[in-house]
Amino acid sequence: MTVSTTTPTTPMTSRVARMIDDLCISSFPLCIEQFGLVCDSLDETVGQPMVLRRARLHAHVLDHISIFIEEGDLLCGSGASKPFGMEIQYEYGVWTPDEVQSLKGEHYSISPEDEAELYRLNQRFAEQPANSTLVDALTRELATDERMWPFMKSGVILPPWKDKKTASGGGYAMSGYGLGPGFFLVCIDFERILRDGAQAVVDEARGYLQSPPDGVATQDQVDYWTAVVIVFEAWVRFAERYAALAQSMAAAEGDPARAAELREIAQICRRVPRHPARTFREALQAFWFTFLMACPSPTATAGRFDQFMYPYYRDDVEAGTLTEEAALELLEILRVKVMKINRVSGKANRAKNAGMAKWHNWTIGGRNADGSDATNDLTYLLLEAARVTRLPHHTLTLRVHDGTPPELMVKAMEVVRTGIGMPAFIGDDSYVEFFTRGGVSPEDAHNYCATGCVDGNIPAVTRTQVVTFFVLPQALDVFLHNGFCRYTGEQVGIETGDVATMRTFEELKTAFFRQLYYLMELGCTRNNVELLAERDLFPDAFRSALMRDGVRSGKDMLARTFSFENASLLCAVGGVNTGDSLAAVKSLVFDTGRYTMADLMAALDADWVGFEEMRRDFLAAPKYGNNDDAVDDLIAEVYRFYADSCYSMGNAYGGTLTPNAISITAHQPAGAVTGATPDGRKGGDILADASLSPEHGKDTSGLTAVLWSAMKVDQDPYQGTLMNMKVHPSSLRTEDDLAKLGSFVQTYLTHGGKHIQFNVVSREDLEEAKFLPEAHRDLVVRVAGYSAYFTQLPDTIQDEVICRTEQH
Amino acid sequence: MSPPDARPPQHPTSAAERADAAGGRQVRGTIFDIQSYSIHDGPGIRTTVFLKGCPLRCEWCQNPESQAREPQLMAGRTADEPPTTVGSVVTAGEVFDRVAVDALFYTRSGGGVTVSGGEPLTQPAFAAAILELCRGAGFHTAVDTSGHATWRTVARVLTHADLVLYDLKHLDVDWHRKVTGVTNRRILENAVRIRHELGVPMSVRIPLVPGVNDGDNLTATARFIAEQLGTDTPVHVLPYHRLGVGKAQGLGWELDDPGYTPPTDDEVAAALSTLTRHGLRAVVGGR
């Protein structure tokens, strides 16, 4: 290992420092150029099969969208027609004037001309009967169903829909040159582009058009292969546009050094992505072009970047054509580039994931299929690039196993110590078990990566389409009210009985699980409606071709059933509040008989007002996070029931619903719709964050007790779980301290733990940043599966981060 | 994967050890805290057990609630916060069971238990029983002590320790009596005997209080460590902080604030350089 594991080695180059300075802008432009191009193309292709319409509009955008190369940049490709821009995504709902106004009140801007043009385009899009957005499609199905419509509004899933006209509200704008809609959790086959080049994909598709792999081809297959050729050829032309631009900029450049850089860029863009990459630099450019085509998803992943990039790095270093410093600078530039790939959504969805959330996740480290450790020099360099630049994106996720080198853990903790909240740590054991249990070969399972925040997927082999947040405490509330939703004042669940008449805790728990199961089935149905709508509306030949057998199958990835089918996720929010509530009910109503269920219901309906002493008792009941079986066992049971239930429900692509338990920042809007709960929480208050973090301030038995509580939950059936922990800077001063926290993490992740991440900033610093945001604009904190600038978070989430118990 | 087994690891195996340990489990003592994920009191991840009762009365004491042997009431930090009882009487077996919960974390990190105080040597049978039980379970054992006890007591407890964290507050006998209430005669003697007769690895800890034990005294301390204990003895400099002042007020003590101030960064650096000049490996903070 040549890379230093601890002391700062390389200061940032002046190029990178300048690029980072340029990141400080006051507002992000909302762009309409792509929407205009899309409308033009859609008008031209009415009547054609959707896969071809989409390929043609994709090609049209790649051929015509404005491109530019920014000052000092070494990597080509930005995500929109303007620097820092976000292009309107036609796939989602419409940007209404009301939504645009609300955006302008935040960190976004749109020119008056563009705004006027946007409304004209909205109209033009809507007037074409062949066009449909996802929101239109969902509304058609869900708003007309008498079981589903009360459920969509209930707040059991997020966001609660408001009315049939505006549904969940708002559209999306994002950067990147891929097709929407975003939020697919999939890692496409970067390796194939690096190794074979885009031309190989075109040739393969053409080959099947000439002679189909199965002798005969269906018309759908012919359309699909045609679409693949259209898109990949357009993509090659897109790179050539950059080559031409760089060439002409070089000719006009006064600085000979910069001119040489531009000529090199031109050369590289003529080579990749069309042909196989030969050097680290070419591989990086090919990767970046591919990544941009995986965006505009805010959840795009780079997979196991340190693994597939390593051969290029190693060969160049051995040949003496690349230094560690030069590679580090490129990796730092890559972070700057990712910083500019943004997205924004309508008001309702902004609350679910605050702070310009995005999950551009690079997975590093971990095990090889033969069990050996996969760490390499790039693993360290990627950590170093994060440490030096202190930028919140891209996210780094470190795979940890029994044989992860302690020095890598120390290096990772050095990055954690900067307070930027990364890397996140995930456990190979639990993830591999999740996949192999579902029939994935051990070899594939060992190649898993984090897509989204911590949701496991296997590159090119599995993909997740729909993730719906399911608010467990709201389901509990519906149960406590016999199927009635206090938030909407409507019956949403089934009648499971009056809780005041239930005689044992077992009876109550069984009835709750019956209600929960019913509501989860509605959630599953909602997901299936979306899965089918996406299959019809949004075929994407680019991403589909870069799945395993993606060209040969002749099918869009949404029309395939994969051998491990996890298209549909139901993501539990507030599991800890639910378990804490059940434990309080068990202890204070059924075990000690101190209160009756009727007393409790009166208190909950009064939001504890007038029941203060009673509330103190319920707050004092056993709470998760203290290694107390009385409550931990109930949390474990809730999570077990939830997972088992998911696996008993079907998804529309084949296979089952998959359980997940991450909350992003959904615990805030979820708390806002949920009335008072038996854990002593007041109505509207925020829920416990993540899925395995204790309620705020309720873990008073130290760091290890929190992990012991979490280790009692069987996390293996979950595609992801989240554990946020805040540690005080004083416990990360020395290298010894780093090694100890590293060992702590490694112990958790080799004994059933799936994920853990840290915020390292003192309470005083956070409080000051809240009141003096101007002085703390660079303060980065970990929110959920992503990091964000603290001062860009809404008040409630700021308070939530401040309140997460600080462990010394 | 099923959740790991949270039960204590195996107990000592030989019949004699089992009998001892069984008897040791019943020994009672007074503690005022047990802290898990303790990372500055010895190697690895540890659990630190704070025993109550201390013969010293250091003016800068940071845990004044540790001085009295018996449980006592301490006022809340604010008027709204109710008073809490500090201290409880427990058996060594109960302490061991608490410590053993985190066995898994000790294994990977090379950690274990640290018996601290107060002054753990004021409860030698209890301290020894805890250490013996823990060592029997394979945990690394450490004792954090001022060394102010008879040699017999020191030897009895430290026989069960893999490491001693040894506090040196002042080299001058009169100063020592003035600021801690006791002389340092036995403390210095015991330090030397621990090193040479028991052979227990030792780290020396110096609470750095400006105007009390810096300057010439620190030079004398450095010389003592280098000459009497050996330059291979790690030295931890612990800068004084004022957390103890508020706690003393919480106990209703009529004490004047001793008026000490935490050392500046320069004062800490000067102390380190004094120590390293004598060939010592000195660091700031516990390890």
DSSP secondary structure code for residue B164 in this structure:
E
Q: Is the pLDDT of residue A359 over 90?
A: no
A733·B1 Cβ contact <8 A: no
What pLDDT is attached to residue A626? 95
Contact A445, A424 (CB under 8 A): no
pLDDT digits (tens, 9 = 90+) for A775-796: 676 676 766 556 667 777 777 7
Q: Is the pLDDT of residue A315 over 50?
A: yes
| Chain B residues with a Cβ under 8 Å from any Cβ in chain A | 1-4, 6, 35-37, 39, 44-45, 101-102, 104-105, 107-109, 111, 283, 285, 287
Chain B residues closer than 8 Å to A429 by CB: 1
Write down the residue that tokens 């597939």 correspond to: A308
**Amino acid present at A210:** Q
Interstrand relation of B28-38 and B46-51 (parallel, antiparallel or unpaired) = antiparallel
Contact A242, A265 (CB under 8 A): yes
Phi and psi, residue B94, nearest 5°: -65, -40
**Region A259-275 average pLDDT:** 98
pTM of the model: 0.92
Interstrand relation of A780-782 and A449-451 (parallel, antiparallel or unpaired) = unpaired
A744·B109 Cβ contact <8 A: yes
Q: Is the pLDDT of residue A268 over 70?
A: yes
Distance from CA of A339 to the nearest CA of B (A): 36
pLDDT digits (tens, 9 = 90+) for A35-62: 999 999 999 999 999 999 999 999 999 9
pLDDT digits (tens, 9 = 90+) for B12-71: 445 545 545 557 999 999 999 999 999 999 999 999 999 999 999 988 887 888 898 888
Chain A residues closer than 8 Å to B287 by CB: 734, 736
Contact A287, A309 (CB under 8 A): yes
Contact A399, A365 (CB under 8 A): yes
A429·B285 Cβ contact <8 A: no
B1·A734 Cβ contact <8 A: no
Query: B283 to chain A: nearest residue by CA?
Result: A734
Query: Between the ranges A81-90, A352-361, B119-128, B243-252, where is the mean pLDDT highest?
Result: B119-128
Secondary structure (3-state) at A327? helix
Q: Which two tokens stand for residue A243?
A: 């080559």
The residue among A452, A406, A131 whose CA lies nearest residue A303 is A452
Interstrand relation of A361-365 and A301-303 (parallel, antiparallel or unpaired) = parallel
- Cβ contacts below 8 Å, chain A against chain B, sum to 69
What pLDDT is attached to residue A690? 85
Interstrand relation of B163-167 and B140-145 (parallel, antiparallel or unpaired) = parallel
User: Exposure string (b/e) for B2-40, b if CB count within 10 Å is 16 or more?
Assistant: ebbeeeeeeebeeeeeeebbeebbebebbbbbbebbbbb
Phi and psi, residue A252, nearest 5°: -90, -5
A704·B102 Cβ contact <8 A: yes
Q: Distance (Å, rounded) from C-alpha A290 to C-alpha A284?
A: 10
Contact A682, A607 (CB under 8 A): yes
Q: Distance (Å, rounded) from C-alpha A199 to C-alpha A244?
A: 19
What pLDDT is attached to residue A769? 82
CA distance between the termini of chain B: 34
pLDDT digits (tens, 9 = 90+) for A405-444: 999 999 999 999 988 889 999 999 999 999 999 999 999 9
Secondary structure (3-state) at B273? helix
One DSSP character per residue, A658-727 reads EEEB--TTTHHHHHHH----TTSPPTTPPPPSTTTSPSTT---S-HHHHHHHHHTS--TTSS-B--EEEE
What pLDDT is attached to residue A794? 75
- Residue in B1, B4, B45 closest to A744 by CB: B45
Query: A737 to chain B: nearest residue by CA?
Result: B39
Residue in A401, A417, A434, A751 to test binding to B, most B beta-carbons within 10 Å: A751
What pLDDT is attached to residue A548? 97
Distance from CA of A426 to the nearest CA of B (A): 15
The residue among B201, B203, B114, B110 whose CA lies nearest residue B165 is B203
Distance from CA of B261 to the nearest CA of A (A): 20
Chain B residues closer than 8 Å to A628 by CB: none
What pLDDT is attached to residue A808? 47
Q: Is the pLDDT of residue A176 over 70?
A: yes
Q: Is the pLDDT of residue A275 over 50?
A: yes
Q: How many residues does chain B have?
A: 287
A743·B109 Cβ contact <8 A: yes
pLDDT digits (tens, 9 = 90+) for A729-784: 878 889 999 999 999 999 999 999 999 999 887 777 788 888 777 767 667 676 65
Q: Distance (Å, rounded) from C-alpha A801 to C-alpha A781?
A: 8
Query: A745 to chain B: nearest residue by CA?
Result: B105
A736·B39 Cβ contact <8 A: yes
- Residue in B4, B44, B105 closest to A704 by CB: B105
Q: Specify the range with the lowest mean pLDDT, choosing from A295-299, A454-458, A536-540.
A: A295-299
pLDDT-derived band of residue B254, with 50, 70 and 90 as boundaries? low
Q: Is the pLDDT of residue A309 over 80?
A: yes
Interstrand relation of A490-491 and A484-485 (parallel, antiparallel or unpaired) = antiparallel
What pLDDT is attached to residue A730? 78
Chain B residues closer than 8 Å to A733 by CB: 285
Q: Distance (Å, rounded) from C-alpha B172 to C-alpha A13?
A: 54
Q: Distance (Å, rounded) from C-alpha A294 to C-alpha B237?
A: 54
Chain B residues closer than 8 Å to A751 by CB: 1, 3-4, 104
What pLDDT is attached to residue B256? 59
Q: Distance (Å, rounded) from C-alpha A789 to C-alpha A173?
A: 20
**Amino acid present at A377:** D
Distance from CA of A112 to the nearest CA of B (A): 55
Q: Distance (Å, rounded) from C-alpha A247 to C-alpha A249?
A: 5
pLDDT-derived band of residue A164, with 50, 70 and 90 as boundaries? low
Query: How much of chain A is helix, strand and coil, in % rounded to 5?
Result: 50, 10, 40
Residue A56 Cα distances to A223, A541, B64, angstroms: 12, 10, 77
Q: Distance (Å, rounded) from C-alpha A300 to C-alpha A292?
A: 9
Q: Give Cβ neighbours of residue B21 (< 8 Å, ≥ 6 apart).
A: B11, B12, B132, B133, B136
Q: Is the pLDDT of residue A694 over 80?
A: yes
